[in-house]
Amino acid sequence: MGLVGAGFIGPHHLDAVRRLGFVEVVAVADSTDAAARQKADSLGVPKSYGSYDALIADPDIHVVHNATPNFLHHPVNMAVIRAGKHIISDKPLAMTSAQARELLDAATAAGVVHAVTFNYRGNPLVQQARTMIAKGEIGPPRFVTGQYLQDWLLFDTDYSWRLEPDKGGESSAMGDIGSHWCDLAQHVTGLKITEVLADLTTVIPQRKRPVGGRQAFTAASADEVLESVDIAVEDLCSVLVRFEHGCKGTFTVGQICAGHKNDLVLEVCGGQASVRWHQERQNDLWIGHRDRGNVVLQKDPSLLDPDVQKYARLPGGHQEAWTDAFRNVLRDIYEHIAAGRPMRERPPAFASFEDGWRANAIIDAVLASHRSGSVWTKVATL
């Protein structure tokens, strides 16, 4: 495999594939030869390239991971597809659903494997909740609720390329983390989101941008030179949701919520019981009942549905984490690639460009709803 972009998430791609044991890491690409070499050395990768085209052209590379900022998702993914190689892209798949559709069509026509790293699908208890719902154990989903809250944009000195529409897209919080929530809600319930009514806010309309640049999750330093910039994209977003088959929902995403680090919560209330999964307490699944006591199911392979056990790598009480779920998703993708199966036979935790397109279509509908004065807006269908 080859990795394009080694910022925050890229090294986690390498870590996950190395833990699979059957994938060879060949090269890293960055924007210059020097930056790529420095990153390759620090990550122990043999080859480095100063452009993504050069990495894609390397005949030793069969699978390309795209861990670049959002504005490079479409061009890099498209170049990989045109070279006939398999592509694993970060989310959101593209800046708009039209771009995402182009990628889906091109990947399908080229016959390459296409994946989007909606990594929360790889958590054992997410798969447990999905399987319980698919097997009718909580009854039909009636109401889906939750949130995805973070605090790394709380202060006006917090800054990221995600706030610049030409780099991150016209949506910031919704594109960055709302896309995860919507994918997870659809994945776990098996129901598509069909309509949205959204209220978006830019809580901090002016921020201080570090002139030299700075990564997400890092605070401003005392000697940093800052410049004031107007912010057009949302940092807070509340959405009412309609799913297929009459199921209703609501969720909030925000990155200005103090104390919430990576606070993703998904709850599904069915006709018989409810299930709630909380990313920051990811080894527990709450199951709510009316006519008996509520229970907390622990991540213990012996207690999980047999179809789900392979997502838990350690016995009960040996807690698993974000990186383990990421690895599970990449294991599903690479086992599929190695077996040479068609896309329609992929395992459920493996999100495709179709799933990526669907998330982009929801983001577009959320933006359209808000701009029309928060009215119900249909999500496009394929």
Q: In angstroms, what CA-CA distances link 278 with 181, 223, 332, 338?
A: 11, 38, 23, 33
Which residues lie closer than 8 Å to 370 by C-beta, 6 or more apart?
Answer: 198, 199, 200, 234
Residue nearest to ligand SOE (CB): 176
Smallest separation (angstroms) from ligand SOE to the CB of 162: 7
Per-residue binder mask for ligand SOE (CB under 6 A), 148-167, x = binder: --x-----------------
Of 127 and 150, which has the nearer Cβ to ligand SOE?
150
Binding of residue 238 to ligand SOE (CB under 6 A): no
Query: What gap in Å lies between CA 265 and CA 368, rounded to an integer?
Result: 25
Q: With H, G, I as helix, E, B as strand and everything else as coil, classify residue 89.
A: strand
The number of beta carbons lying within 10 Å of the beta carbon of residue 360 is 31
Binding of residue 220 to ligand SOE (CB under 6 A): no
Of 87 and 247, which has the nearer Cβ to ligand SOE?
87
Binding of residue 262 to ligand SOE (CB under 6 A): yes
Q: Choose one: 175-183, 282-290, 309-317, 354-362; the region binding ligand SOE (CB under 6 A).
A: 175-183
Q: How far is CA 15 from the centre of its chain?
A: 17
Smallest separation (angstroms) from ligand SOE to the CB of 329: 12
C-alpha dihedral, 111 to 188 to 240 to 89, nearest 10°: -30
Query: What gap in Å lies between CA 152 and CA 149, rounded to an integer?
Result: 10
Of 66 and 150, which has the nearer Cβ to ligand SOE?
150
- Where on the phi/psi map is residue 374: left (φ > 0), alpha (ψ -120 to 50), or beta? left
Binding of residue 176 to ligand SOE (CB under 6 A): yes
Binding of residue 278 to ligand SOE (CB under 6 A): no
Which residues lie closer than 8 Å to 380 by C-beta, 6 or more apart?
Answer: 97, 361, 364, 365
Of 163 and 312, which has the nearer Cβ to ligand SOE?
163
Smallest separation (angstroms) from ligand SOE to the CB of 219: 15
Among 100, 177, 241, 379, binds ligand SOE (CB under 6 A): 177
Binding of residue 7 to ligand SOE (CB under 6 A): no
Helices assigned H by DSSP within 144-214: 165-168, 173, 179-189
In the complex, which residues of this chain contact ligand SOE (CB under 6 A)? 8, 150, 176-177, 180, 216, 262
